[in-house]
Amino acid sequence: SQSVIKCRAAVAWEPNKPLVMEEIEVAPPGAHEIRIKVVATGLCHTDLYHLFESKKKEGFPAVLGHEGAGIVESVGPGVTKFKPGDKVIPLFISQCGECKFCRNPKTNLCEKGWSNERYDVMSDDMSSFTCKGKTILQFMGTSTFSEYTVVNEIAVAKIHDSAPLDKVCLLGCGISTGYGAAVNTAKVEPGSTCAVFGLGAVGLAAVMGCKAAGASRIIAVDINSDKFEKAKVFGATDFVNPTELSKPVSQVLAEMTNGGVDFALECVGNVGVMRSALESCTKGWGVSVLVGWTDMYDFSARPIQLITGRTWKGSLFGGFKSKDGVPKLVDEYMAQKLKLDDFITHTMPLHQINDAIELMKHGKCIRTILNVCPE
Ligand code: NAD
Ligand code: ZN
């Protein structure tokens, strides 16, 4: 099995263009690497960010996709904890277990992964992919829009043998991110009042996290009112569309909550919304968490917001240590303690990826599952 595999992948040749289905060559796994047959993958807004929104135009050509699940095809020299046939989720944050971050319970960062130096382009110079004689970068180190991918063992989680891969793939990014932002980063408290800005899968998972943590009131905020019905399923109690208000949303939320919410999570990736979320928090103890991804603009707020006791924090992958956290979240899903199916609004084969992108661009889906190599 240790030979080059030729397979189908959706290649992003350049920014702002549709992905192209190509035959690519996938190298055998090197030392401490694992070659994975991708079964299913979600499409996350961060893929769209890289393709359409980021001002940095490095990081192409690439295979995008970082919310996948698959089966180990083969392992490279030195890999002892994985074997062919294992069910796995590739991780965009590694957990080497040895660096100063891995050893510190306060963070889920890891010094060894691709992301240590390359937040700007979110991919790595080292790649196992070629196509038409060119090196193809592995976006976020994962590249799940390919039938096969190669990932270092420090960035792979082994999961339950009977986990349905076309559902638990969502734990590779969006759901873990939003859920963890509420329970790990914000540390939402029982009886508290929360606001979640942006009701994509990340925001809805944040709503689910607020509910799991015992929040008594969860205000769902989105400029697309079509999202409110789903937000209700995950536990939202109030619904606000900023485009329908004559006052700033932070003022409306303050009036609804006698001075502001206890916790506000930004799940959009817009610096203006980040400011609104902070300003929606109560003075004294309000906590606002940045979850949405953007690296294009500075954010700003008046210092008095923090001086009077608000806290502004950020959350990457929901604060979960990736290799430890993901298998546990899979088990919670299997024990029906965590919803995943309700996030899935569309399912299609990988070659229809551009349709999935259009759905997300126009706010017509929550998550589309792309079947890559169905089980
Ligand atoms: P999505 O596109 O499915 O959802 C975004 C939602 O925000 C949509 O419902 C949209 O209508 C809403 N929105 C847009 N502008 C708004 C505004 N001004 N006010 C209120 N709502 C508004 O995206 P997603 O996949 O759920 O991802 C959400 C964000 O989280 C993205 O920025 C993504 O890059 C980021 N993300 C961050 C991490 C992390 O680790 N921090 C991980 C995954 C995704
Ligand atoms: Zn993502």
Q: Which ligand is nearest to the CA of 200?
A: 1
Question: What's the longest Cα–Cα distance across the chain?
Answer: 64
Give me the pLDDT at residue 296, please: 85
- CB-ligand 1 contact for 228 (6 Å cutoff): no
Give nearest CA residue, ligand 1 atom 35: 292
* Spatial distance between the Cα atoms of 254 and 250, rounded to a whole number of angstroms: 6
Q: What are phi and psi of 328, to 5 degrees?
A: -70, -40
Closest CA to 276 of 298, 254, 255: 254
Which ligand gives the minimal distance to the CA of 272? 1
Ligand 1 atom closest to residue 46's alpha carbon, by position in its atom list = 34
What is the C-alpha to C-alpha distance for residues 285 and 129, in angstroms, rounded to an integer?
49
Q: Determine the Cα angle at 372 with ends 335 and 202, to 5°.
A: 50
Residue 174 alpha carbon, nearest atom of ligand 1: 43
The three-state secondary structure class of 88 is strand
Ligand nearest to the CA of residue 315, numbered in listed order = 1
Q: Which residue's C-alpha comes closest to atom 4 of ligand 1? A: 200
Of the residues 244, 268, 290, which should be mutated to test ligand 1's pocket, given the most ligand atoms within 8 Å of the CB? 268
- The verdict on the CB of residue 42 being under 6 Å from ligand 1 is no
HSE (CB half, 13 Å, CA atoms) of 90?
A: 36
The more confident residue out of 153 and 296 is: 153
Q: Name the residue with higher pLDDT: 140 or 36.
A: 36
Q: How many Å lie between the centroid of ligand 1 and the Cα of residue 343?
A: 14
Q: Compute the distance from residue 9 Cα to the ligand 1 centre, in Å.
A: 25
Nearest CA to ligand 1 atom 30: 292
Kindly state the percentage of the chain with pLDDT values over 90.
90
Mean pLDDT, the chain, rounded, equals: 94
Which residues sit with Cβ closer than 5 angstroms to ligand 2, an ion?
44, 46, 173
Confidence tier at 114 by pLDDT (50, 70, 90): low
295 pLDDT band (50/70/90 cuts)? confident
Ligand sitting nearest the alpha carbon of 65: 2
Nearest CA to ligand 1 atom 5: 200
**Would you state the pLDDT for residue 54?**
83
The pLDDT-based confidence of 115 (bands split at 50, 70, 90) is low
What local confidence, expressed as pLDDT, does residue 120 receive?
46
Q: pLDDT of 152-161, one tens digit each?
A: 999 999 999 9
User: Is residue 1 predicted with pLDDT exceeding 80?
Assistant: no
pLDDT tens-digit readout, 330-350: 999 999 999 999 999 999 999
Q: Which of 60-64, 232-236, 243-247 shows the lowest per-residue confidence on average (mean pLDDT)?
A: 60-64
Residue 310 Cβ contacting ligand 1 at under 6 Å: no
Element (H, E) at 175: helix 174-180
Q: Is the CB of 269 under 6 A from ligand 1?
A: yes
Which residues have CB under 8 Å from 370's CB, separation 6+?
40, 41, 42, 43, 145, 347, 348, 349, 350, 352, 353, 356
Report the pLDDT value the prediction gives residue 144, as an integer from 0 to 100. Answer: 97
> Which pTM does this prediction carry?
0.96
CB of 177 closer than 6 A to ligand 1? yes
Share of the chain above pLDDT 70, in %: 97
221 close to ligand 1 (CB < 6 Angstrom): yes
pLDDT at 44: 96
Specify the pLDDT at position 47: 94
